[in-house]
Structure 1
């Protein structure tokens, strides 16, 4: 081998950090990540990858490939941001570390007999880009899929919750709120009743079930009885069965709002359902050893199950093929994801180290899987069975 993965990543470090900072500086929302995707594609093409853009009928998705081996190993890049608070989930770090891992493994592609893929997956925060890409065949040849997500601490076997992303519309009848309120059917009151019912339901949820939401639209003016309101809700649970149970019970709360006020209602699906993460045990252990070797101290394995990480469409990927979604720690000064202070922390020196360490650990984990005859056979057989 003329160059190893670490050397390739080290040579690309300045480029990776610049990429992370550039994505962070221009946050883009789900399915609108045109600049971010283009920046990532430019780096990958400059590193010798063959890139196809707009795959799976998604304009901001892409597929970058290097090598021609029978075992296909993929690194998932995310790059969408949050409304109002930008990259407070650190997707700039995810994207740059995926690119770095791809560059690192590409240096070993011929020796290991692998095809390296960096897959650009838009719309993780909402929209379920990976779910759509799975359904449309973008992952069909992948033996294992990996990525890292930033957070306040290192977690190797990270888990997540299954998610239903829904909107509830109430339709009533407008009227003058002072001169003729008796002619109105108040859709805002319907939403209020539903929110109270949901609040009371929370006391009786099973462990691992969560429900939270906001008012997406509450009416046009105080002196018009609202004829339309919208609630936006996330329903989460540790398993698909518990999520189905929560959906049924929440639907009763939403129906109560309509019944109490004489309105009608409908429930819409905003994003495809996210399933819970099921990280592959062998890949988790290999990644753990690599990250410890880099001087990091991950959360003890026995505590990982008590720290679910919200929800992610990477869960759908790990329910189809071996994969991991570890958390790479950075110094966030006590801030957590989805806070403005965490967004600021995602372009610090600590964040830059997370980019490089994440890339190194992912590339090394993938290389170990490819070089181990049993694991290689397991991953190849998995593709054949799908």
Structure 2
């Protein structure tokens, strides 16, 4: 370990208690996408305490987005912090760890940014679980000037990368016409029947989906009483695929299935995108290697992911800048999005992941800034 990295390791002890307190504070007050008012305010407060940090809370159309910059070097490295939670199960995806690890990396690097001749940027990115906060931030220019981007996600294994699928979500509603189910059923238009036809079509269509394509969803409500023809039926649906081109094809399949319900019953269909499409990940191999080597110094043996699954708006960032999204194991935690994973996210495994995320990213930035070939590659775009 070179001298500068050793200084960062030594400096972590000075900020550890504050980072873990911040992680636990987020964990105790989960907020869902675009509603992270407390989380983003707490993050901005922590960032303002970092010497030399230039902090903005609220970016463009996103009041719960945060930006902080430190240093003034030409090489700009952006560290992403997520802090939205899941409805009903809180931080069962460990975003409290992501935010605290990003804060730790930024804090460590802010003290050496001028020495490294870099600008280190932290972007607090709302609504990763649904809503595509990073996609919106890309569109409104918050990532402009970035040469490399990174974040670290907790999980069930130590991985150099994640292999997320491209993804798109839709709100679906049928509007029919109510009537007495016994006396005048012929005067009704049954929205629940339309949904049933669509569900049947989706079930049959799955046999013909291309490799990597997925369809899943839920019915949120249909009808009000058994003796009333249901005039409304609604749900949320998602499609996933290996890449955006395949995603557009499976989206067409989903749309046809719901159109079939409308044609069969005469109900009116509303088929509305709920999120901007999430892309597939394009990880930067050299940056992944550097993070792997730095994680080894922390006692972790990261290996490449070999299974596709899940989705993240960080993948859209990877289509614009060299990007990494490694995963850190929490130990004996159950799969992510499980209530017990939320508990583990504030336990010893979660606390260790905060440390290893912060130091792993900080030391990787040191490598990128001090290796002439890597520095030139990133600056050249």
Shared fold, TM over 0.5: yes
Q: Is the CA contact 2:292–2:301 (under 8 Å) kept in the aligned structure 1?
A: no
Distance 1:337 1:321 in 2: 27
Corresponding residue to 1:95 among 69, 94, 99: 99
Contact 2:80 2:122 in 1 (8 A): yes
Range 72-81 or range 209-218, more displaced: 209-218
1:56-135 alignment to 2 at 5 Å?
Answer: 56-135=60-139
Cα shift readout 1:103-161 (whole Å, capped 9, x = no counterpart): 12222211110111110000000110000000000001111110001101111121111
d(CA) in 1 for partners of 2:354, 2:64 = 22
Question: Is residue 40 from structure 1 mapped to residue 39 from structure 2 by the alignment?
Answer: no
Structure 1 residue runs of 5 or longer lacking an equivalent are none
Q: Give yes or no for contact 1:4–1:104 (8 Å, CA) kept in 2.
A: no
Shift of 1:325: 0.8
- Show the 5 A alignment for 1:141-152: 141-152=145-156
Distance 2:215 2:28 in 1: 32
* Structure 1 position 261, deviation (Å): 1.3
Decide whether the 8 Å contact of 1:4 with 1:107 is kept in 2. Answer: no
Equivalenced residues, count: 377
Contact 2:41 2:57 (C-alpha < 8 Å) held by counterparts: no
Contact kept? 2:50, 2:110, Cα under 8 Å = no
**How does the TM-score come out when normalised to structure 2?**
0.96
Q: 1:357: which partner in 2?
A: 356
Aligned to 1:331: 331
Cα deviation, residue 7, structure 1: 2.5
Match in the other structure for 1:254? 258
Matched, 1:180 2:184: yes
Q: With the length of structure 1 as denominator, give the TM-score of the two structures.
A: 0.95
The range that moved more, 142-151 or 43-52, is 43-52
Cα deviation for residue 221 of structure 1 reads 2.8
**Residue 158 of structure 2: which of 151, 154, 157 is its match?**
154
Q: Is the 8 A contact 2:330 2:349 kept in 1?
A: yes
1:309, 1:250 → 2: CA distance? 19
CA distance in 2, matches of 1:32, 1:288: 34
Q: RMSD across aligned C-alpha pairs, in angstroms? A: 1.4
- Pair 1:164-2:190 in alignment: no
Q: State the secondary structure of the residue aligned to 2:64.
A: coil
Q: Structure 1's 319 and 363: CA in aligned 2 closer, same or farther, altered over 3 A?
A: same
Partner Cα distance (2:108, 2:37) in 1 = 25
The structure 1 segments of at least 4 consecutive aligned residues displaced by more than 3 Å after TM superposition are none
Question: 2: distance between equivalents of 1:332 and 1:208?
Answer: 29
